[in-house]
A and B are shown apart, each in its own frame.
Chain A
Amino acid sequence: NAGVMQNPRHLVRRRGQEARLRCSPMKGHSHVYWYRQLPEEGLKFMVYLQKENIIDESGMPKERFSAEFPKEGPSILRIQQVVRGDSAAYFCASSPPTDTDTQYFGPGTRLTVL
């Protein structure tokens, strides 16, 4: 059973461009979480999604950030008009239905905004 997959692993964007980060949860997991890790800091929750639904987006910045988890395909975290402060590692996690306490993390996407 493959783990949580994220791509790309590294993404470089210039200010004002869009960044799209993808996350494929583990097989059988229908709950996805996105976290952001700023340099030298811990992880901060951004958003929790189930298939076709946003359950909790309390950690998402109000502007430029959006997330989706369509019925088919990976979850997407989209950042429009990126700024230097968006440079961070973005981690996706998923939970199995039989163990909702435990989240399994992907390797992360490291976004660098020039």
Chain B
Amino acid sequence: GNSVTQMEGPVTLSEEAFLTINCTYTATGYPSLFWYVQYPGEGLQLLLKATKADDKGSNKGFEATYRKETTSFHLEKGSVQVSDSAVYFCALHSGGYQKVTFGTGTKLQVIP
């Protein structure tokens, strides 16, 4: 079956530091890959996605590249802000009307 593994948190960074949150996956076929963000007390928001190998998803300064050879989709941001403090979920979708498989989430805390 499908699975997503992401680095455990919490991750604590100072403002303007570089962020990497690792994510690897196991899936049959050619899944689409996603990063969702959940701010405290809120639902999930789609942050970015990539639908095929070597695609790069980007949004709000975050980016992730779909690496089929390493089955990875690591999230990066060059300079984090306090407002980026949230829980980040890596996820995959096998296509069509199917369920999304989520990682366990990584809590990011950015301190001034």
Task: Show the binding face of A for B, using Cβ within 8 Å.
Answer: 6, 31, 33, 35, 41-45, 48, 50, 55-56, 59, 91, 93, 95, 100-108
Contact = CB atoms under 8 A, between A and B. Distances in A.
Given A91-B44, A105-B44, A100 B96 contact: yes
B44 A43 contact: yes
Interface in B32-84: 32, 34, 36, 42-46, 49, 51
B102 A42 contact: yes
Contacts of A59: 99
Which has the most chain B C-beta neighbours within 10 Å: A31, A42, A91, A93? A42
12 contacts: A6-B43, A35-B100, A42-B89, A42-B103, A43-B89, A43-B100, A45-B99, A56-B98, A91-B43, A91-B44, A102-B93, A107-B42
Contact of B105 (A35, A42, A91, A105): A42
Contacts of B49: 101-102
B22 interface: no
A101 B95 contact: yes
Given A42-B105, A101-B51, A48 B43 contact: no
A106 B51 CA distance: 23
Which has the most chain A C-beta neighbours within 10 Å: B43, B44, B46? B43
Given A55-B97, A100-B97, A101-B95, A42 B104 contact: yes
B20 interface: no
Nearest to B100: A103
A35 B42 CA distance: 14
A80 to B, nearest CB: 23
B82 to A, nearest CB: 22
A100 B43 contact: no
Which has the most chain B C-beta neighbours within 10 Å: A44, A93, A101? A101
A31 B104 contact: no
A45 B97 contact: no
B93 A103 contact: yes
Nearest to A103: B100
A81 B89 CA distance: 31
A99 to B, nearest CB: 10
